[in-house]
Amino acid sequence: MTFTHRRPALRSAAAGLAAIGVLALGMAPARAGDPAGNWVRPSTGTVVKFYDCGGKLCAKIVAVKDKSKQGTVGTVIMPGAKKVSDNKWEGDLLNTEDGQTYNGVVTLSGGGLTLKGCVLGGIICKGETWQPAN
């Protein structure tokens, strides 16, 4: 009894799984050390696009869940944070809720992007961990 007729089916299945794996990798956002892309602030549902701007990290609001905040779409909330270490950037961070600009710290880790706004040289900070947008 020979099983040679099954090998082409196994090869096809393996090739199909490999192709799915390659496609899945190709569709995954670049996250390892690169926060570029759209992120959602969980507390408000606001979507912010993070992008490279002349070697620094910039961010602007691209969508809001609360329609009363529609006027903030297009607002740059981070005009150019400097990379200070692996997965960490520092720079001005605008809080559109109070109109104030804070010393911002952005950290990429564990699949999330943590944004903190700090005052008094970083003694008092408030922040939240954002998730990748779908």
Whole-angstrom distance, CA of residue 131 vs CA of residue 92: 21
Tokens of 123: 């003694």
Percent of the chain whose pLDDT exceeds 90: 68
Question: Residue 117 sits in which domain range?
Answer: 37-132
Q: Specify whether the CB–CB gap between 37 and 48 falls below 8 A.
A: no
Reported as type and span, the H/E element at residue 8 is helix 7-27
Look at residue 75 and tell me if it is in a domain. Answer: yes
In this predicted structure, the answer to whether residue 15 has a pLDDT above a threshold of 60 is no
Query: What is the domain-level CATH number for residue 90?
Result: 2.40.128.520
* In a domain? residue 24: no
Please provide the size of the chain in residues. 134
Give the chain's domain count.
1
Which pLDDT belongs to residue 32? 58
* pLDDT tens track for 18-38: 333 322 333 334 445 789 999
pLDDT given at position 45: 95
